[in-house]
Structure 1
Amino acid sequence: MVTRRSLLGAALIGLVPGSSAKTAPDAIEEFRIAGSAATVLLRRGPAAAVLLHVCRRWHYEIAPLDTGEGGVTGYTTDRTTAAGFETNHRSGTAVALYPRAYPLGGSERLWPHQEAVVRDILRDCEGVVVWGGDLSPVKMSHFHVVTAGATLTRVADRLDTSRHRARRRRIRRYADG
């Protein structure tokens, strides 16, 4: 069972993907979300495989990510956060799907059938991903990786979407300054 205490301990010794103070530029890649024209910047490796699965399922079963209405946000260098869990974007281990439609603390909710899909996606991820709809403050668009190590690797291997080519871009293009 993952507890706040175990997560804090893992963060202190650098085991949690989002716990690093600075993300190495070569650790971030731009990935195409399967079945869509949308792309997202994520930390390369198991975290990307799991988050791409979340994105793909959302795209197919909830709402398309490439219509211009919704969109997807992954890695960012923006230091402005309104909730602690949003810092996971700075390590490339979080995504926001339709972030303008479902902002932090927003009153807009998913329809019951859409929430059932999200719950099924979370079951696919076996506890390595947390949904912002279960956090406080609520952010229905937010998903981030909370587990590192063997569990994340095992789940990522099962959900792997890496057969979809990643396009490398220099991180400096996205960095501040």
Structure 2
Amino acid sequence: MTLAGLSRRRFIGATSGVAAAATLVNVSGATAASADTQIWKNATSKNGWPVLDDATSYTIEGSGREVSLAEGDAATILLHVARRFHYEIDSLRVGDVHGWISSRKVTESYESNYLSGSAIAIRPVWYPARTKGNLYPNELVVVRDILAELDGVVAWGGDFKAPKESHFEIALKPGHPRVKGVARKIREWNNGPVSDGAGATDAFDPKRLKASRAFERRAS
């Protein structure tokens, strides 16, 4: 059986749990060293964001967990993704979220986006690289709603040819109008009434379901 056909349910059932799952990934959330591992030498990550020597640590609202990200729009957007995961899919635990890393070793080129602090991996042990089918249907509904809400500014690794369902990245270059617009919208939610934004969203509302399915069709 190849990893591409291995789901979370079958994976966990076939191992002794998280300890065994950890053999597939390193603490950065990237795939463990293999013949495919390469050193990323570019000054920018795959999505066009500058590789950082360091990154700022942020607390994910409601969870108490921290993640290091590029300052500004990238942090605003990716923190929103992590916050919605925490509120709507499952509570984040210690070690669940990985952001900026310093190691330039990558297996898939999109993992270079961690180097620029413009991507996060949420539970990479549960949702390792090169696997699919790890999310339950209700969890997938929330993920699709997040992607639609953010107007394609965030891409999900579950849609990639070499999938990684824990991976979320900024899909557009720094300063892109849609990046700036989505970040501004999130900041308005954060500063607005408690009824706005993450924690108050119903991804299963019929109107939101219709919108997310339409967005998925357009993006595919």
Q: Which residues of 2 match residues 1-177 of structure 1 at below 5 A?
A: 18-20=48-50, 22-25=51-54, 28-66=55-93, 68=94, 71-148=96-173, 149=175, 150-160=177-187
TM-score (norm 2): 0.61
TM-score (norm 1): 0.75
Once the two structures are superposed, what CA deviation does each residue of 1:14-43 show, in whole Å capped at 9, x if it has no partner? 7x86443x3254xx2100001011000000
Structure 2: segments with no counterpart, 5+ residues:
1-41, 192-220
Percent same amino acid among aligned pairs?
A: 38
Partner AA of 1:35 in structure 2: G
Distance 1:107 1:152, change over 3 A: closer
Q: Secondary structure at the match of 1:40?
A: strand
Question: Which aligned runs of 4 or more in structure 1 are off by greater than 6 angstroms?
Answer: none
Structure 1: segments with no counterpart, 5+ residues:
1-11, 164-177
CA-based RMSD: 2.3
Q: Whose Rg is larger? A: 2
**Contact 1:42-1:48 at 8 Å conserved across structures:** yes
Once the two structures are superposed, what CA deviation does each residue of 1:108-147 show, in whole Å capped at 9, x if it has no partner? 5100110010000001111110000001211000000011
**Contact 1:106-1:139 at 8 Å conserved across structures:** yes
- Greater relative contact order structure (CA < 8 Å, 6+ sep): 1
Q: How many residues align?
A: 146
